[in-house]
Amino acid sequence: MKHPRRAFLQMVVGAAALPFFSRMAWSLDYPTRPVRFIVGFPAGTGPDVTGRIIAEPLSERFGQQFVVDNRPGAGGSVAVEAVATAQPDGYTLLLTLSSSVVNSLLYPNQNFTLPRDIAPVAFVGGTPYVMVVTPSLPVKSLPEFIAYAKANPGKIYMASQGIGTTPHACGELLKMLTGIDVMHVPYRASLIPDLLAGQVHFYFSPMPQPLQYVKDGRLRALGVSTAKRLDVLPDVPSIGEFVPGYEAIGWSGVGAPKGTPAAVIDVLNAKIGDIVNNDPQMAARLRDAGILPRVMTPAEFGRFIADETEKWAKVIKFANIKPE
């Protein structure tokens, strides 16, 4: 017969071990059925391409289908709500995007937002932007552009795909840090024809869209939005070289409903990190899509989202940006 105290201690030790074994069971058993990977933009768009680049190798590594489910609407907010209200079991994931952070700030009364209702799983990479100007603008460098803008307040037009988009936010950050006064012109259709024709003067373009225009001289690149220069444009300085503190990127990652078991998040983070770090083919596909692969832990990704939210809140307040 066991001693009562020894039996009690064995029971306590066994109970303490349950969470550990529960996490191990989750990580070993997951997934046992297909996983929905929700993307908040239509098929064929940049986010959709990114989602499929991630979903394909996850399907191969887990032996279960990660099915891209396009849920466009409200700048990605429809997808955020679909994931936030799903069962937190790891079988519904979200392609998280920088635009969803800006949306959460522009529409604070939404029922569900990325920073509040989505658990960070894995960072995938950042999208650099290039500040390009029409050659009809008489400037050949960023300092010249800033001086020209200050000498011509309100006469330079900045194009973007709409209020609150990342190109718009990039421009407003430049305004905040330099004191220039330029006019924002939001487009619903393609803005490139007007930019080439000089109807609007500059645009923060995601990579790799502007490369051909820059190479053939139809657009002039004045700076990249990343902290360092880009290998594909080694002669183009980072904006931060002339404007201290300037850095702005779009980014992509993976999220899950709040309350998703930590073991599921950990195993997904490990697999995505392996894809980004150790799969040259997948990394090349991401770079071709304009994304610079980068690995973060879930905690690091969470802090990154918090920092991005704080940063863009200041810009939105400064620029008094209102929703469309």
The span from the CA of 162 to the CA of 153, in Å, is 22
Would you mind telling me the total number of residues written for the chain in this entry? 324
Confidence class of residue 16 from pLDDT cuts 50, 70 and 90? Answer: very low
Residue 153, helix vs strand vs coil: coil
Residues pairing with 204 in the sheet: 131
The span from the CA of 86 to the CA of 213, in Å, is 43
Q: How many other C-beta atoms are found inside a 10 Å radius of the C-beta of residue 215?
A: 11
**What DSSP designation does 238 have?**
B
The predicted pLDDT at position 28 comes to 56
Q: For 38, phi and psi rounded to 5 degrees? A: -85, 130
Cα–Cα nearest to 174, from 125, 103, 223: 223
pLDDT of 150 higher than 90: yes
Cα–Cα nearest to 77, from 99, 46, 44: 99
The span from the CA of 246 to the CA of 253, in Å, is 22
Confidence class of residue 23 from pLDDT cuts 50, 70 and 90? Answer: very low
The span from the CA of 6 to the CA of 94, in Å, is 48
Instruction: Match 């190109």 to its residue by tokens.
Output: 167
The predicted pLDDT at position 317 comes to 94
Confidence class of residue 108 from pLDDT cuts 50, 70 and 90? Answer: confident
Residues pairing with 92 in the sheet: 36
The span from the CA of 91 to the CA of 266, in Å, is 14
Residue 44, both tokens: 């064929």
196 φψ region: left (φ > 0), alpha (ψ -120 to 50), beta (else) = alpha
Give residue-wise pLDDT tens across range 273-320: 999 989 899 889 998 888 999 999 999 999 999 999 999 999 999 999
Mean pLDDT of 140-162: 97
**Contact residues for 282 (Cβ-Cβ < 8 A; gap 6+):** 53, 57, 275, 276
Cα torsion 308, 183, 165, 200 to 10°: value is: -130
Give the HSE-up count for residue 157: Cα atoms under 13 Å, Cβ half-sphere: 16
Residues pairing with 232 in the sheet: none
Q: In the chain, what are the domains?
A: 34-127+250-319 (3.40.190.150), 129-241 (3.40.190.10)
Give residue-wise pLDDT tens across range 227-272: 999 988 999 999 999 999 999 999 999 999 999 999 999 999 999 9
For the ranges 41-45, 121-125, 151-155, 181-185, the lowest mean pLDDT is seen at 41-45
